[in-house]
Chains A and B, each alone.
Chain A
Amino acid sequence: MRVALFATCVNDALYPSTAIATVRLLERLGADVDFPAAQTCCGQPQFNTGYRRETEPLVRRTARAFADYDHVVTPSGSCVAMIRDNYPRIGARAKAEGRGEELAEAAASLVPHVYELTEFLVDVLGVTDTGAYFPHTVTYHPSCHGLRMLGLGDRPRRLLQAVRGLELIELPGAEECCGFGGTFAVKNPDVSEAMGADKLRNALSTGAGVLCGADNSCLMHIGGMLRRQDAPQRTLHLAEILASTEEEPLV
C-alpha cells in the first residue's frame, strides 16, 4: 500500500526521530512510504491564533502536496484535527467572502485521505500488535485533539498493550489538558504552567519511566517541564515505541 507521510513541521525541525520511527514502523508493516517534499506545515498555529486568511496558502500547499495519495498518515493528532475540522471551515469562509471555491475544493479532496497514525494502524491496516518490543514502564497521555476532536478512543492503548515487554500504567487525570495549547503556552504562561505542573504530578505518581503521547507538541511542553525539574521520567512519541523491536531496540 502506498502511503504518504505527513511529517509535520514540528517533527521535521525538532523531532525527526518521530518521523523516522513512523517510516520504519509503516515499512515494517508492509507499506510503501513516500515523503512528498512540498509539504511543510498544516497551518494550525496560525489558524488557532486568529490568522485564518494567513493560513490559506498552507491549506493550498498541503492539499496540493498530497493530492496524489489515497492514504496520508501523520504522527500528530492535532494536525489531523486541524485538517479535518478546520480546512473545510477555511474553505467555506473563503467562498462566503467571495474568493471562489478553490480552497473549499482543496479541503474536500484532502480531508477523507488523512489519518492519524493510530487510526491508520488500527482501522486501515487492521493491526494492533505491531511486533514491537519495549521493555519499560509506560504511562500514556491521550492529548485533547486525539481524545476529543478525533475520538481515538482506546486505539493508542490497545497498540501499547500489545507491545512485548511493555508495562502500561494508567495515568490519573489522563483526560485533562496538559496546558500546552499552542500559543496559549506563551500568551497565558502562568495558567499553562499550573496545568502542566498538575500533569507532571499525575505522570510522576505512576512511577513510569516513560510518558508516552501521540502529539509531540504536548510532549515538548511536558518534557520541557520534566527536564527543567530533572524528573526521572522521559517523554516519547508512540511511534518511537512502536518502531522499537528486539532486533533494533530503542534505548
Chain B
Amino acid sequence: MSGTFMGMPAFPKAARDAVRDTTLRGNLRHATRTIRAKRAAAVAELEDWPQLREAGKQIKDHTLRHLDRYLEQVEQAVTAAGGTVHWAADADEANRIVADLVKATGETEVVKVKSMATQEIGLNTALEAAGIRAYETDLAELIVQLGDDLPSHILVPAIHRNRGEIRDIFRDNMASWGRPAPEDLTDRPADLAEAARLHLREKFLRAKVGISGANFMIAETGTLVVVESEGNGRMCLTLPETLISVVGIEKIIPTWRDLEVFLQLLPRSSTAERMNPYTTMWTGTTDGDGPRTFHLVLLDNGRTDTLADEVGRQALRCIRCSACLNVCPVYERAGGHAYGSPYPGPIGAILTPQLRGIASEVDASLPYASSLCGACYEVCPVAIDIPEVLVHLREKVADQGGRGHRLEKAAIKAATWLLDHPAALTAGERLASRTRKLHPERLPGPGTRQWTNSRDLPDLPAEPFRDWWKKNHA
C-alpha cells in the first residue's frame, strides 16, 4: 500500500483518530515545537527578511505570469546542454514516461532523491507495476518505505515516528530490501544513521538509474538545483549513468541572480539552517562527469488549472519549505496523514484541492481544516496568504453543494435574512432571552451537539444589548 493516499476518509474523521493517538501527538508536538523555535531564531538573524520575502514573492509571481515563455526557455536550454525534455500533462503520463525511460535502459532498479513531485504522482507504485524497484535514499523516506507507511510531512516525512519505532522498522524490514540492520541495533540516532548508511551504500554503488525532482530550474541556463541535508541526493545525482528528473512546471526561476533570494529563504524556513549542507546543480550532461544521459519530465498535473484561478494561484509560489506545517496548531494535533495527500498542513489544504479538484470527500474537506489563525501566512517565505485561499476554496466547495452544504447554505441564507432585518432579529433575541431558563446545557442536532460535547453554552442574558441601549440611552 506504500505510496498511495487513495480511499482516505475526510479530514475531520481522520483527524479524530489522530487526536486520540497519544504517541503520535507526543512525537509531533516535540518535533514541530523544536523546529518552530529554531526557524524563528534563524529568520531573526536576517534584518532584511521582509525584503527577501517580498522579493521571493515577486520573482515567483513574475515567473508564473510569463510561465509559457520561461518553460520554452528551459526546454531550449536543457536540450542545448545535452538533456531531453518530456512534457507530462498528468500523473499517469509522467509515470508512463519515467517507466518507459527506465525500461529502455534495461535496468529494474532505481535510486531516488527525496522528491515531492514523484510522491504526488505515485511514481513508486507505478514503477512497481512496471517491474521496477525504486529505492528511497533520504533517511526519512527510507523509514516510510521500509515501514510500508505514508509520508506525513513535506520535509520530514517520518515525523510521526519516534526513534524506538524507527529501530523496530529497521530491524524488522531492512533485510527484505537489502542489507539487514545489525542484530543489536539500538535507538541511538548515530546507530540508526549508521545502519541506514550501510544499507543505502550498496544501492548507491549499484544503481545505474537515478530519479529526482528539483527545488529550482533556472531558465537562463537550463540548470536544475537540488538542496538537501544528507548527501544521498548528491550520490543519486552524480553516480548513476542515467538521471531522470520529474519537476513541476512552477519550479522555474528566471536567472541565477534570483536563486540568491531562494537559497536564503528556503534553508532558514525549512531546516532553520543558514545554508543547507548539500546544494547540487547540473546543466544537461557533461562528458566524464556525472550521468551520461539526462531526462527532464516537466509535470503539469493540475498546475495550469491552479494558475487560472486568480486567488488560488499564489499556492504555486510554494517552495516546499514546510514552515507552515511546523507552526500550524491543526497539523500539530491532526498529523500529516489526515490531509490525505503527500502535501499535508496548511499548504496541503490549499494545494491538494486545487491540483486534484474538490470532487472527493477528503479533498472537499481540506479547505475547512483550519481555524484561520494566520500563523502559516506569517511564516511563509513567499507570503502565500493561506487563509485567504482557504476561504476562497470554501466558496468553491459550498458552490458545488453536496453533502451537508445544501442545508448549510439554507441556514446561512436564513441567518443573513434575519441579520438584514434588525426588527426580526431583535424579536428573536428577545424570545431567546425570555425563554433562557428553559434552555438545556447540552443540545442535540448537527452543529450544536459538536459544540456542547466539550463546552457549556454561554448563559443567555436577560435582555439583548439593543434593549439596554433603548432603555438607558435612546
Chain A: residues with CB nearer than 8 A to chain B?
7, 9, 11-17, 19-20, 23, 33, 35, 37-41, 43, 45-52, 54-55, 57-58, 61, 89, 144-145, 148-149, 175-177, 179-196, 220-221, 223-225, 227-228
- The chain A residue sitting closest to B467, CB to CB, is A16
- The chain B residue sitting closest to A193, CB to CB, is B454
Cross-chain contact A13 with B416 (CB below 8 angstroms):
no
- Asked if A38 meets B398 with Cβ closer than 8 Å, knowing A20-B468, A186-B451, A190-B19, the reply is no
- Answer yes or no: B412 CB below 8 A from chain A CBs: yes
Q: List, in ascending order, chain B residues with CB within 8 A of A175's CB.
A: 375
Partner of A144, one of B372, B451, B469: B372
Q: List, in ascending order, chain A residues with CB within 8 A of B454's CB.
A: 189, 193, 196, 224-225, 228
Q: List, in ascending order, chain A residues with CB within 8 A of B391's CB.
A: 47-48, 50, 52
Over the window 370-400 of chain B, the binary record of Cβ atoms lying under 8 Å from chain A Cβ atoms (1 yes, 0 no) is: 1111110110000000001001011111110
> What are 23 sample pairs from A and B whose C-beta atoms fall under 8 A apart?
A7-B465, A12-B464, A13-B461, A15-B458, A15-B461, A33-B473, A47-B391, A50-B397, A51-B395, A54-B409, A58-B419, A58-B420, A61-B420, A144-B371, A144-B373, A175-B375, A177-B329, A182-B372, A184-B371, A186-B450, A188-B368, A189-B450, A194-B333
Cross-chain contact A49 with B398 (CB below 8 angstroms):
yes
Chain B min CB distance to A196 (Å): 7
Partner of A13, one of B371, B398, B453, B464: B464
Q: List, in ascending order, chain A residues with CB within 8 A of B388's CB.
A: 89
Partner of A195, one of B371, B398, B447, B461: B371
Chain B min CB distance to A128 (Å): 26
Q: List, in ascending order, chain A residues with CB within 8 A of B370's CB.
A: 181, 184
Report the separation of the CA atoms of residues A189 and B368 in the bound assembly, to the nearest whole angstrom. Answer: 12
Q: List, in ascending order, chain A residues with CB within 8 A of B369's CB.
A: 188, 191
Interface centre among A41, A61, A189 (most CB of B within 10 A): A189
Report the separation of the CA atoms of residues A48 and B25 in the bound assembly, to the nearest whole angstrom. Answer: 28
- Asked if A12 meets B465 with Cβ closer than 8 Å, knowing A40-B422, A47-B391, A50-B391, the reply is yes
Partner of A54, one of B25, B413, B456, B460: B413
Chain B positions 415-457 with a Cβ under 8 Å from a chain A Cβ: 415-416, 419-420, 422, 425, 429, 432, 446-448, 450-451, 453-457
Cross-chain contact A185 with B412 (CB below 8 angstroms):
no
Chain B positions 318-366 with a Cβ under 8 Å from a chain A Cβ: 329-330, 333-334
Report the separation of the CA atoms of residues A177 and B377 in the bound assembly, to the nearest whole angstrom. Answer: 14
Q: List, in ascending order, chain B residues with CB within 8 A of A12's CB.
A: 429, 464-466
- The chain B residue sitting closest to A62, CB to CB, is B419
- The chain B residue sitting closest to A183, CB to CB, is B368
Partner of B469, one of A35, A54, A187: A35
Chain B min CB distance to A183 (Å): 8
Cross-chain contact A148 with B378 (CB below 8 angstroms):
yes
- Answer yes or no: B463 CB below 8 A from chain A CBs: yes
- Answer yes or no: B11 CB below 8 A from chain A CBs: yes
Report the separation of the CA atoms of residues A23 and B432 in the bound assembly, to the nearest whole angstrom. Answer: 24
- The chain A residue sitting closest to B400, CB to CB, is A50
- Answer yes or no: B12 CB below 8 A from chain A CBs: yes
Cross-chain contact B429 with A225 (CB below 8 angstroms):
no
Q: List, in ascending order, chain A residues with CB within 8 A of B329's CB.
A: 176-177, 179, 195
- Answer yes or no: B16 CB below 8 A from chain A CBs: yes
Q: List, in ascending order, chain A residues with CB within 8 A of B121's CB.
A: none
Q: List, in ascending order, chain A residues with CB within 8 A of B12's CB.
A: 187-191
- Answer yes or no: B15 CB below 8 A from chain A CBs: yes
Q: List, in ascending order, chain B residues with CB within 8 A of A16's CB.
A: 461, 463-465, 468
Cross-chain contact B371 with A177 (CB below 8 angstroms):
yes
Report the separation of the CA atoms of residues A221 and B453 in the bound assembly, to the nearest whole angstrom. Answer: 12
Chain B min CB distance to A4 (Å): 12
Over the window 75-115 of chain B, the binary record of Cβ atoms lying under 8 Å from chain A Cβ atoms (1 yes, 0 no) is: 00000000000000000000000000000000000000000
Report the separation of the CA atoms of residues A11 and B464 in the bound assembly, to the nearest whole angstrom. Answer: 8
Q: List, in ascending order, chain A residues with CB within 8 A of B425's CB.
A: 40
Cross-chain contact A49 with B465 (CB below 8 angstroms):
no
Report the separation of the CA atoms of residues A179 and B368 in the bound assembly, to the nearest whole angstrom. Answer: 13
Chain B min CB distance to A222 (Å): 9
- Asked if A14 meets B461 with Cβ closer than 8 Å, knowing A49-B394, A190-B19, the reply is yes
Report the separation of the CA atoms of residues A227 and B469 in the bound assembly, to the nearest whole angstrom. Answer: 29
Cross-chain contact A46 with B415 (CB below 8 angstroms):
yes
- The chain B residue sitting closest to A10, CB to CB, is B458
Chain A min CB distance to B323 (Å): 15
- Answer yes or no: B72 CB below 8 A from chain A CBs: no
Cross-chain contact B455 with A225 (CB below 8 angstroms):
yes
Cross-chain contact B458 with A46 (CB below 8 angstroms):
no
- The chain B residue sitting closest to A189, CB to CB, is B450
- Answer yes or no: B408 CB below 8 A from chain A CBs: yes
Chain A min CB distance to B349 (Å): 11
Report the separation of the CA atoms of residues A17 and B458 in the bound assembly, to the nearest whole angstrom. Answer: 13
Q: List, in ascending order, chain B residues with CB within 8 A of A61's CB.
A: 419-420
Report the separation of the CA atoms of residues A190 and B25 in the bound assembly, to the nearest whole angstrom. Answer: 13
- The chain A residue sitting closest to B408, CB to CB, is A49
Chain A min CB distance to B16 (Å): 4
Cross-chain contact A191 with B464 (CB below 8 angstroms):
no
Q: List, in ascending order, chain B residues with CB within 8 A of A39's CB.
A: 422
- The chain A residue sitting closest to B451, CB to CB, is A186
Q: List, in ascending order, chain A residues with CB within 8 A of B19's CB.
A: 190-191, 193-194
